[in-house]
Amino acid sequence: MTRQTKEIIIKYIFFLFALVSVIVLGLIVFSLFREGLPIFGKVSVKDFIFGMEWYPTYDPPNFGIFPLIVGSLIVTLLATVIAVPLGVMAAIYISEIAPQAIKEILKSVIELLAGLPSVVLGFFGMVIVAPWLQDTFDLPTGLNIINASMILALMAIPTISSISEDALYAVPREFKEASYALGATKFETIVQVILPAAMSGISTAVMLGMARAIGETMVVLMVAGGAAAIPESLFDSVRPMPASIAAEMGEAPFRSGHYQALFAIGIVLFFMTLFFNLVADYVSHKFRQIGSGTL
Amino acid sequence: MNTFNNNSMKWRYLKQHIFFGLVRASALIITLALGGIIFYIVYNGIGAISWDFITKPPTDSMTKGGIMPAILGTIYLTVGAIAIGLPLGIASAIYLTEYAKQGRIVRFIKVGINCLAGVPSVVFGLFGLGFFVILMKFGSSILAGSLTLGFLILPTIIGASEEALKSVPQTFREASLSLGVSKWQTTFRIVLPNALPGILTGSILGIGRAAGETAPIMFTAAAYFTSKLPGSIFDEVMALPYHIYVLATAGTNIEATRPIQFGTVLVLVAVVLGIDLVAIVIRSYMRRNKRW
C-alpha cells in the first residue's frame, strides 16, 4: 500500500468517527419514534398535544399532555426571566468591569455552578427552599412553579453567562476606543456600543439557556410538585414534560399505551429543544460578528 | 439649570454608578447562591460522613449503613462513559481540525454536534432505554448506562479537543511535514501529544457531568438496591445520583434517612466538584506556563 492510499484511508476513518455525533442524533430520533409513534394509533396527534387530561393509568386512559407542555413552558419562561438579567450582567461584569483577580474567581464560580449535578440542585430546592417558601408565604406546598423556576435559573445562568461573555470579548477594541474618544462614559459605551455589537451572541446564549431549562429533568421532577393541571398562580404545582417521563417510566408496563405516550412526550421535548438549538445556531451564524466590518 | 439634565456629567456618572452597582450585585448573587448551596450541603452532610459510610453497604432496608455500592457504581459508569466518549470525541475533533476542509459537510457535522449537545438528559435516557436496553438487548446494565452517558458527554469532549488541537501552533505541523513526515504521523506524534493535556482538562468537565447525571441512568443502569456488587457489565448498579433521588422521594422513610441523603449529596458534590476543580486549577496553571 502506498503512503498516499494509506493517508486517504486514515482520513476517511477519521471522517467516520466525526459522523458519530450525527449518527447518534439519528439513532435518538429512530428510538423515540420506534417506541413512541404507536401511541398515535390510540389517540390523535391533536388530542395528544391539546388534550387537557393526563390520566395514563385510568381505564380508559387519557393521554392529553397540554398541562405538561404548559408546565414546561411556564417554568422555562420564568427561569429565563430570572436568569437572563443575572447571567448577562455577570458576563458584563466579568468582561468589562471586574479586576483580573475577581474575574478569575467569578469564572471559576460559574464553572462550578455549571458542574453542580442537577439532582443536587433538585435536592436543595426540595429540602431547603421548599420548606422556607412554605413557611414564609404560608402555602400548602413549597414545591411549586416559583421554586422550580429559581433552581432552573441557577442551572441556566452558567450557559447564558459564559456564552454572553465570549460575545462581549469578541467586540473589537476600536469600538470601545472610538466611543471613549467621543466622550462617552463607560456605562454609555457598554449599553450603547458593546451590548448592541454583541447582541447576536447574547441572543444565542439566551436560546441555549432556555433549551437547557426546558430539558432539565431532575429539578422539575423533585421541585415542581407534580400536579398535571393548568396552574392558576405561580405558587401552584406543575408537572413539566421531563418530570412526567422520569417519574412514570418506571411504572409504565412495557409497550403499553402509557409507555408509548411517555416516549411520545420525549419526541415533543426533543423537537422543542432541537428548535431552540437550531434557532441559536442560525442566529449565531447569520449575524456573526466579523471584525469591525459588519457594522 | 436643571441638575438632572440629560447631558449633565453628574447625572451621567450617577447612571453609571447605579448600573455598576447592579452588575456587581448580579455577580454577588450568583456567588452567594453557589456558596450558600455548598455551605448547606457541607453543614448538613458532614455529620453523616464516616469511614463506614463510604466503605459499607446499606443495611436495614436502606435506613442505616453506608453507600459503598453506589460510589462503586458511579465509578463504573463514569469510567465506562470515558472509555466510550473520549476516543470517539478525540477522533471527531481530529477530523474537524486536522483533516476537514471548511464546507457543507463540516457545517452539517457541527450542527449535528450542537444539536446533540442540546438533547435533554431525560431524552438520552429514553434513547438508552429504547436502543441499548431493548433493541440491543443489553438490559438495564452498566454497559447500557455507560454507552448512554458516553454519548451524552461526546459533544463536550469534541469541543474541548477541538480547542486544544487548534491551540497547537501551525508551525509545529509545518516543521514536521517539511521533514517529510506523513500527515498521519504528524497528527499522531506531534499534534496530539501537544494537545493532550488541554484535551484531558477540557474533558474532565464532561466527566464530572457524567458522574452527576441522573436522568440518563434511571432507565438504563441504575437500581434502587442490589444485594451484591455487580459481577459483569451486564449487571445493574446502584449510583450516587439515583440513590439521592430515590431516598429523597420514594424511600421507605424519607425523614429518617435525611442524614444519609445529605451525606450522599456531600459525597457526590465532593466527587464532581473535586473533579472540576482539579481541571480548573490544572488549566490555569497550564495557561500561565505555556511554552509557546
Q: Using one digit for the tens of pLDDT, what is the confidence trace for A34-58? A: 999 999 999 999 999 999 999 998 8
Report the residue from A10, A106, A126 with minimal CB separation from B27.
A106
Residue entry with cell 448600573: B19
A241 in Cβ contact with A169 (< 8 Å): no
Whether the CB of A122 is below 8 Å from some CB of chain B: the reply is: yes
Nearest to A228 by CA among A53, A61, A75: A53
Question: Is the CB of A215 less than 8 angstroms away from the CB of B122?
Answer: yes
Whether the CB of B82 is below 8 Å from some CB of chain A: the reply is: no
Give the Cβ contact number of residue A254 at 10 Å. Answer: 7
Confidence class of residue B291 from pLDDT cuts 50, 70 and 90? low
- Amino acid B250: pLDDT: 77
Whether the CB of A256 is below 8 Å from some CB of chain B: the reply is: no
Flag whether pLDDT at B55 surpasses 90.
Answer: no
Cβ neighbours for A290, distance < 8 A, ≥ 6 positions apart: none
Report the residue from B29, B88, B269 with minimal CB separation from A20.
B88
Whether the CB of A1 is below 8 Å from some CB of chain B: the reply is: no
Cα distance between residue A256 and residue A259, in whole Å: 5
- Amino acid A281: pLDDT: 85
Flag whether pLDDT at B61 surpasses 80.
Answer: no
B257 in Cβ contact with B247 (< 8 Å): yes
Whether the CB of A8 is below 8 Å from some CB of chain B: the reply is: no
Interior/surface letters A132-150, b for 16+ CB within 10 angstroms, e for the rest: ebbeeeebeebbbbbbbbb
Confidence class of residue B278 from pLDDT cuts 50, 70 and 90? confident
pLDDT mean over A10-32:
95
Question: Is the CB of A109 less than 8 angstroms away from the CB of B30?
Answer: yes
- Amino acid B225: pLDDT: 78
Flag whether pLDDT at A294 surpasses 60.
Answer: no
Whether the CB of A9 is below 8 Å from some CB of chain B: the reply is: no
Q: How far is A25 from chain B (nearest CA, A)?
A: 6
Q: What share of chain B has pLDDT > 90, as a percent?
A: 60
Report the residue from A86, A221, A276 with minimal CB separation from B118.
A276
Range with the lowest mean pLDDT among B6-20, B111-125, B222-236?
A: B222-236
Question: Is the CB of A17 less than 8 angstroms away from the CB of B92?
Answer: yes
pLDDT mean over B218-245:
87
> In chain A, what are the domains?
3-286 (1.10.3720.10)
Q: What share of chain A has pLDDT > 70, as a percent?
A: 97
ipTM score assigned to the predicted complex: 0.91
Taking each helix axis from N to C end, the angle separating A130-137 and A145-169, rounded to the nearest 10 degrees, works out to 120
Convert the pLDDT of each residue in A85-105 to its tens digit.
Answer: 999 999 999 999 999 999 989
Flag whether pLDDT at A290 surpasses 60.
Answer: no
- Amino acid A288: pLDDT: 66
Whether the CB of A175 is below 8 Å from some CB of chain B: the reply is: no
pLDDT mean over B177-200:
90
Whether the CB of A219 is below 8 Å from some CB of chain B: the reply is: no
Confidence class of residue B218 from pLDDT cuts 50, 70 and 90? very high
Report the residue from A7, A110, A249 with minimal CB separation from B30.
A110
Confidence class of residue B274 from pLDDT cuts 50, 70 and 90? confident
Decide yes or no: CATH 1.10.3720.10 for domain B57-288.
yes
Convert the pLDDT of each residue in A248-273 to its tens digit.
Answer: 998 899 989 999 999 999 999 999 99
Convert the pLDDT of each residue in A146-185 to its tens digit.
Answer: 999 999 999 999 999 999 999 999 898 899 999 999 999 9
Q: Which residues of A touch B37 (CB under 8 A)?
A: 116, 120-121, 124
Report the residue from B37, B88, B119 with minimal CB separation from A270.
B119
Flag whether pLDDT at B2 surpasses 50.
Answer: no
Confidence class of residue B64 from pLDDT cuts 50, 70 and 90? confident
Q: Which residues of A touch B273 (CB under 8 A)?
A: 112, 115-116
pLDDT mean over B192-215:
88
Flag whether pLDDT at A295 surpasses 60.
Answer: no
Q: How far is A247 from chain B (nearest CA, A)?
A: 10
Per-chain mean pLDDT for chain A = 91
Q: Could you state, in order of their start, the residue ranges of all structural domains in chain B?
A: 9-48, 57-288
Question: Is the CB of B99 less than 8 angstroms away from the CB of A14?
Answer: yes
Q: Which residues of B touch A215 (CB under 8 A)?
A: 118-123
Question: Is the CB of A93 less than 8 angstroms away from the CB of B218?
Answer: no
Range with the lowest mean pLDDT among B26-40, B132-146, B147-161, B199-213?
A: B199-213
Per-chain mean pLDDT for chain B = 89
Confidence class of residue B169 from pLDDT cuts 50, 70 and 90? very high
pLDDT mean over B38-44:
94
Mutation choice for B interface testing from A116, A143, A244, A274 by most B CBs within 10 A: A116
Q: How many CB pairs under 8 A join A and B?
A: 267
Q: Where are the alpha helices (DSSP H) in chain A?
A: 3-36, 45-50, 66-92, 100-115, 118-124, 130-137, 145-169, 173-181, 186-189, 195-197, 199-215, 218-223, 241-248, 257-286
B248 in Cβ contact with B160 (< 8 Å): no
Q: What is the pTM of this model?
A: 0.91
Taking each helix axis from N to C end, the angle separating B240-249 and B258-288, rounded to the nearest 10 degrees, works out to 150
- Amino acid A110: pLDDT: 93
- Amino acid B1: pLDDT: 44
